Structures are given as C-alpha cells and as structure tokens.
Amino acid sequence: MPKVSLGAELLCDLLIQAGVDTIFGYPGGAVLPIYDALFDAPLRHILTRHEQGAIHAAQGFSRATGRPGVVLATSGPGATNLVTGITDAFMDSTPVIILTGQVASEKIGSDAFQEADIIGITLPITKHNYQVRNIADLPQVIADAFHIATTGRPGPVLIDLPKDMMSGPAQRCQMPEPAPRGYRVPKAPDPVVLEQVAAEIKRAKRPLLYIGGGIISSKSSEDLREFARRNQIPVTSTLLGLGAYPAGDDLFVGMLGMHGIYAANRAITECDVLIALGVRFDDRVTGKLERFSPHSKKIHVDIDPAEINKNVPVMWPVVADVGMTLRGLLALDCVPDAEAWRRQIAGWHEEWPLSYRPAQDGLKPQRVVELLAEATKGQAIVTTEVGQHQMWAALFYPFTRPRQWITSGGLGTMGFGFPAAMGAQVAMPEQTVVCIAGDASFQMNVQELQTIVENKLPVKVAILNNGFLGMVRQWQQFFHERRYAESRIGSPDYVKLADAYGALGLRAANAHEAEAIIEQALRHDGPVIMEFLVHEEENVFPMVPPGAGTDQMTLEWEEA
C-alpha cells in the first residue's frame, strides 16, 4: 500500500523525482507546511533576502545549466514579488518552476489575509499555470509542469498550492509520465522544405546567419558551428545568442542591433539570404522594420509558430527544433559561393573596428571589461544587470561557449544580474562567476549580499560606477539636450558596505588600480565587491537611434 503522508511531503518527493536538488525561496504563512517538510528533505534550500532575488537566482541557475530553476514563495505579496522575474523568464524563454503558496481552498475568493489571484495575474506571463485543488492531482501536475517548462520553447510554469492541500493527507507515489492535455511539441522539419532551403542557401552570394538564444535553448551550438564552418557562412548574434558561436572565430561577425558592431549591422543590411535561427526579430535588432535587411530572402527557423511572420515576413518558415533543422541541413549540399562576401565583411571590420577612445586620465568602463576578460582568460560565467555596462560587457568580453553569458534581454530587468550570478554560482561551484553591474542596478537587489556571504558563494561583482542611470543619461544627452532629469544617482560606500556584510570590498579609479584589484579579487576565495570609478559621460557606441534602420548607426557622438 502507498505510504500515507502529507501533501507537502509528497511535493518534496515529486520534486526529487523530477531531478530537483536546489530551491530558492522565502517562507511565509501559506507555505509553512512545505518548509516543515523541507526541514527533513534532501533538498538544498537557498534563503534569499527578497522573492525577486529568489526568482532571478533560479533563472541564473537555469541559464547556467539548462535545467529548470525552482523558486518557492508564500501567498499574496510573496507571490506578487515574483512577477517581474516570471515576466523576465517568459520573455527570455527560461525554464523555471514557480511554487506559490495560497490561502486554504475554502478561503479562496474571499479576500483573505495574504490572498492574491496569482493564477490570474500570471496567466499572460507563464507558459502554463496550475492551482492544485485536489491533492491526488499533484503528481500529474508536477510531471506536466516540468515537461512543459523544458520542452518546445522553454518557459516558466507556475503551480499554486493552497495551504490545506499541503497540510492535508496524501499518498506518496511514483511520478507519472507527463501527459499535458492539448500540448504538442513541433516535430522534425519537413524534408522537402529543407531541400528547398538548402537550395536557397547554395544560390546565395551574400548569405548570413542570424542566431539567437534559441540555439542555446535547443542545445544546438555544436550543430551551428559545424554548419557555419562547413558552408563558410558568416555569423551574427543577438544579445542572448552570444556564446552560441565562439567570439574570435573567423566567421563570427559580432553582435547586431541597436548597439551591434558596424560590420554586423552592415552585413544584415546587405545580405541576400538571411538564415534566422532561434530568434524573434525583436525591435532592438531590427530597428525600423522597413529598412531591416531589405535585400534578403529570409529563412526563419523557430520552434514557436507564433514567432513566424510576427514582426518580419519570411520566405521560408520552418517551425521545428533548431538543432534538428541544422542536422537536416548538414546532410544536404548548402555550400554557397561567398568568398567575395566574406572579404567584404572583413573589410568592414578593418574600416570600422569595435573601439573606444583611451582615457587620458581616470578609467574607461570598456577597459574594465577588457581587464576582466584578460584576467579570467575569457572563461568566466558573466552575468550583468541592465544598462550601459550590459552593452559594454556584450561587446568587449569574448564569449566562446553557450551558457557562459547570462543577462536580461527581452524585459531588460534592472536588479537581475546579481541574484542571477548567485544562482549560477550555486549551480557551478567550481566556475568563476563575475557579475558586471551598474551602480544603479546593483542597488536594486543589494540585499542579496547577505545571501552570498551566508552561503559562501565566491561571486565577484564589478560595479561600473558612473554616478548615473547610465543608459537613461545617454538618451537624455542625445535626445533631450542634456536635461538630466532624475538620472544622477548616489551610492553607498561599496567598500564599507561589502565589509558590513562580511565580503571583501575593493575600489579602483584608474587602469593600474583596476588591474590590481581584479587580480586580488580572483585570488580571494570568497565574495568580492569591486567598485570602478569610471568616466561619468562615457557612451555606448555604435548606436542605432530610435526610429532608424540598422544601416543608420551613430558611431561616435559629436556635438553640433
């Protein structure tokens, strides 16, 4: 006979069966039965200092491993504090399982203490969500939730758990096979369509690969590398695609889009066949749609049919897994005659290389990123907050492998990078994890300093302190006549703050000091906060102004 237990104990058993070993969370009244069960369960729980920190940590864990991160929060404010992270995970296709407490079943809908309709709130920002009203349904719900979160286009799945379901009796059992009603994962690509696509690529004179985060989600980086090299097709990447193809490779053109490099944006404008793999043609890449890649025949491979023709009409839509599609194309002759095109792109690189004006005095933020890359030999897992520092990290740190780069793309969430670094470090304890942060973003979840110290997580944080909301200030400079309304922001003394939490705090104001404190930080076996006092009005270039096309880049700001 199955062992009679409590719902919370059954939940822990099912999570273990699903392969979970770590949960990020914060307790409260509605989830006390779950926390009581966790007391004896062989599951690691990381107690964060805010629920938003918990879900961003779960995202970092997921992005570093490819496994679903798991977050647990109580009802009401605990659940609603997760909403930003859920939206972020939804937009960036990150598999996260969100467990929320809920008031007892008989009180649902009565506006009880700490009740919130988290199902209704998160319906538009989850891949699916559940509320368990019968404990016998929990095994199937857990099985289906993990299946939905990790297959097809990955994403967050929420499970709402009324308190009485967790504190009442339950029968422990083996988790069933997933069987979500109405859920279908796209099948292999049509072989006839693949032959037509291969023929189109072979006819191209100026082919270009445009890759995104879908390459990493589908675990198809090796297939991409083989396809690009066999067919000698240049590669451009979105922000979230960085690392899927190694920086430094002769075929890698660079990041494209609003802050993409000159050669990448020229290439996407001039190409005649654009092969888009695991991307969604978002506005930060396309700029003005009418001017986006106007001369190309477009091939779009994506597992999500909703993305096909959503923003940009394409000639060859392929609704399928990117890896399966690339492996299908590798069996066909796709080799184009594109030597002259590769020389043209190399010429653009020589004409307008990625660069910045060296500092006559003080410290440039780009140089800090270069020093971090040199000191870590380009091998660190790098997370970022959101803003100018994020773009400098994307442009000046050479990412060579998937899951090395963890940043908030679609939602652009300030406060993401530090807790994401915490989650990545939990997942990868032997790896160096560096969070590149802005002084404004870092303050949004600074309380997680206590979490990394308490858990002995040796995260290295590099704060590029320019005294501003940097990207806001840049736009105010360009488009609002330097009227810096509420974009200047103060900071605490980060060295003293680090010391107060029990971490090591360091500061640098020039390149020599920066090099020294980075070396010291990497030698230190605990968490480190490095503050770099950088030029206040340094800007991110290139830049495609709003309303412009990718061919209308501003390469350097000049005063009228």
Catalytic residues: 51, 113-114, 163, 471
The burial of 427, by beta-carbon neighbours within 10 Å (0-12 exposed, 13-18 middle, 19 or more buried), is given as buried
- Helices (H), ranges, 256-396: 262-270, 283-286, 322-330, 339-351, 365-375, 388-396
Determine the residue type at 340: A
How far is the C-alpha of 480 from the C-alpha of 283, rounded, in Å? Answer: 22
Residue whose C-alpha is closest to residue 2's, from 108, 136, 158 = 136
Residue whose C-alpha is closest to residue 95's, from 47, 138, 58 = 58
CA end-to-end distance (rounded Å), the chain: 82
| Backbone region of residue 504 per phi and psi (left: phi > 0; alpha: psi in -120 to 50; beta: other values) | beta
Residue whose C-alpha is closest to residue 439's, from 420, 459, 415 = 415
- Helices (H), ranges, 408-469: 417-427, 439-442, 449-454
b/e per residue, 71-85, with b = 16+ CB within 10 A? bbbbbbebbbbbbbb
In sequence order, what are the residues at sequence separation of 6 or more whose Cβ sits closer than 8 angstroms to the Cβ of residue 426? 22, 44, 46, 57, 61, 455, 457
Helix 388-396 × helix 365-375 angle, to 10°: 50
Residue whose C-alpha is closest to residue 441's, from 375, 496, 383 = 383
Q: 481, 505 in Cβ contact below 8 A?
A: no
288 three-class SS: coil
Dihedral sign, CA of 28, 31, 36, 42? negative
Hey, what are 362's tokens? 């003080």
Q: 22, 46 in Cβ contact below 8 A?
A: yes
Residue with structure tokens 């699916």? 128
SS (H, E, C) 36-92: HHHCCCCCEEEECCCHHHHHHHHHHHHHHHCCCEEEEECCCHHHHCCHHHHHHHHHC
Q: 164, 136 in Cβ contact below 8 A?
A: no
Q: Rg of the chain over CA atoms, in angstroms?
A: 24
